[in-house]
Chain A
Amino acid sequence: MRHEILDAPNFGLLALTLQAGEKVVAESGAMVAMGPAVSVETKMRGGLLAAAKRKLLGGESLFQNTFTARESEQLLYLAPPVEGDLRVKELARGEVFFLQSGNYLAHVGEELVLDTQWGGVRSFFGGIGFFMLKVVGPGTLFYGSYGAIHEVPVSAGGYTCDTGHIVGFSDGLEYRVRPFAGFKGLFFSGEGLVCDFEGRGTLYVQTRKAPALAGFLHPFRRVQQRGN
């Protein structure tokens, strides 16, 4: 299988060329175009219960599609939902990478493990947080970002990142989620949750976040008058 990333960093598009029998698993809705001899099979990732939990708590899609080439030299174009960059990560056997679940685009490798973990804090108001995918090699992972991807080498001093701006991070980093500037800060500082990183590794930060855009658009929604 060959892969090429086109139109990055503003509108990243993944162009794959599949040989007969080769498979790619992708987030539902990611397919842009494909060759005539590609079969699609839809599955719930991790079974019904795990998928339903993710859907309810994380807003992540319930389904994933497996694309299989029946003949050689089949094209498959995949795209993330928001505008931004697209990256590939080759993982060796046992190598671990943490990816924010909304940034997942696709993967190749029957042995690649995608384990959903909840990262967040429980508060008086219930849980607030996000889902991380713990990805364990061997295999190839493709992921997207909203905006550009800014790489931060984390070392002794540690680092802090808004949870909505996290794309992913390498193994070797410990993370702990907390409200920015205390729980009061959740409401008053304008920032939500942040993640403190300790250890040594690379953090990938996206320069825009979808919840902020949603928050911007919300006041522009039409107002439905309640019936009398």
Chain B
Amino acid sequence: MKFEIQYRPAHSLAIAHLEAGESVRAEASAMVSMTRNLAITTDGPMGGRGGLLGSFKRAVLGGETFFTNTFTAQGTAGHVTLAPTLSGDMQAIELRPGEPLYIQGSSYVAAPDSVELDTRWQGLKGFFSGETLFFLEASGQGPVLVNAFGALETLELDGDVIVDTGHLVAFGAGIEYEVTKASRGWIASYLSGEGLVLRMRGRGRVYLQSRNPKEYGHAVGSQLPPRQG
């Protein structure tokens, strides 16, 4: 399984090349096109990895789409092309055994089956902003494809950094974090528009996206005619 990424950075498309028998597990709505020799299984509440509880946990806590599709090349080599909803870059981050990667739920695109996905619920929710924060834990070996809204920036952390939750894509093991407020008080934090931030500490990589999907949603979606409640 190999990821090739084209048309970077604005409208990136990832091509997952599969040898016969290999498979890739993709976020449910990511499939753009594929060769005809792929078998598809949808992992959902009626079965699949982790059964009902596993997919429920993924969907509700992980911010990942409720379902993932696993594409397996049968007989011969094949490929599936994958893209996120919004404009922006993608990157395949190589996992090494014993060094998991924590991925913001909506930033996950795909990984081969040598990579295990698990959810990690991260407690605190913003009282005022209603923000919640969930990560998927990817462990094992192989590439994990993530997407960014906008450009993807990598911070080589050695020390402390404060990151807006809406701009966080992923971070490596060896980084501790706590959810905190951007300003001193809750009210000031709310008014600052920064909502929840993460104070991250340690050594490793932090992957950031240059745009915040939620801010974009509010900026554009609020201009649309109201929907019925």
Q: Does A126 contact B (CB under 8 A)?
A: no
On whether the beta carbons of B226 and A222 are closer than 8 Å, the reply is yes
**Consensus secondary structure, chain A interface:** mixed
User: B-facing mask of A132-154, CB < 8 A → 1, else 0?
Assistant: 00000000000000011010100
Annotate B96-133 by CB proximity to A: 1 below 8 A, 0 otherwise: 00000000000000000000000000000000000000
What CA separation (Å) do A212 and B6 show in the bound complex? 20
Q: Inside 8 A of A226's CB, which chain B residues have their CB?
A: 228-229
- Is A216 located at the chain interface by the 8 A CB criterion? yes
Q: Which of A160, A189, A218 meets B227, CB within 8 Å?
A: A218
- Residue pair B69, A189 in contact (C-beta under 8 Å): yes
The verdict on A196 contacting chain B, using a C-beta distance below 8 Å, is yes
Q: Mark A192-228, 1 if CB is under 8 A from B, else 0.
A: 0000100000010101100011011111111111100
Q: How far in angstroms is the closest Cβ of chain A from B46? A: 9
Is B81 a contact partner of A205 (Cβ separation < 8 A)?
A: yes
Check if B36 sits within 8 Å of A223, measured CB to CB. Answer: no
Whether A181 and B42, one on each chain, are in contact in the complex, defined by CB atoms closer than 8 angstroms, is yes
Contacts of B155 in A (CB 8 A): none
A137: min CB distance to chain B, Å: 26
Residues from chain A with Cβ under 8 Å of B40 in the complex: 180-181, 189
A84 to chain B, nearest CB (A): 7
Q: Assess whether B220 is in contact with A148, with CB atoms less than 8 Å apart.
A: no
Does B175 interact with chain A (Cβ within 8 Å)?
no
C-alpha gap A225/B17 in the complex (Å) = 49
In the complex, identify which listed stretch (B25-33, B160-168, B176-184, B187-195) lies at the interface while the others stay far away: B25-33
Interface-central residue, B13, B33, B222, by most chain A CB under 10 Å: B33
Given A150-B13, A181-B42, A191-B69, is A219 in contact with B221 using a C-beta cutoff of 8 Å? Answer: yes
Which residues of B have CB within 8 Å of A28? none
Question: B131 to nearest A CB, angstroms?
Answer: 14
Instruction: Assess whether A157 is in contact with B227, with CB atoms less than 8 Å apart.
Output: no
Decide if B31 touches A220 in the complex (CB within 8 Å): no
Tell me the bound Cα distance from A159 to B37 in angstroms.
9
Q: Which residues of B contact A158 (CB under 8 A)?
A: 35-36
B91 at the interface (CB under 8 A from A): no
Q: Which residue of B lies closest to A147 (CB)?
A: B11
Q: Check if B33 sits within 8 Å of A207, measured CB to CB.
A: no
CB pair A212–B29 under 8 Å, yes or no, is: yes
Binding site for B on A (CB under 8 A): 9-10, 83-84, 147-148, 150, 152, 157-162, 165, 180-181, 185, 188-191, 196, 203, 205, 207-208, 212-213, 215-226
A to B CB contacts below 8 Å, 15 in the list: A83-B87, A148-B10, A150-B13, A160-B36, A162-B31, A165-B33, A185-B42, A189-B42, A205-B33, A207-B11, A220-B222, A221-B226, A223-B226, A224-B226, A224-B229
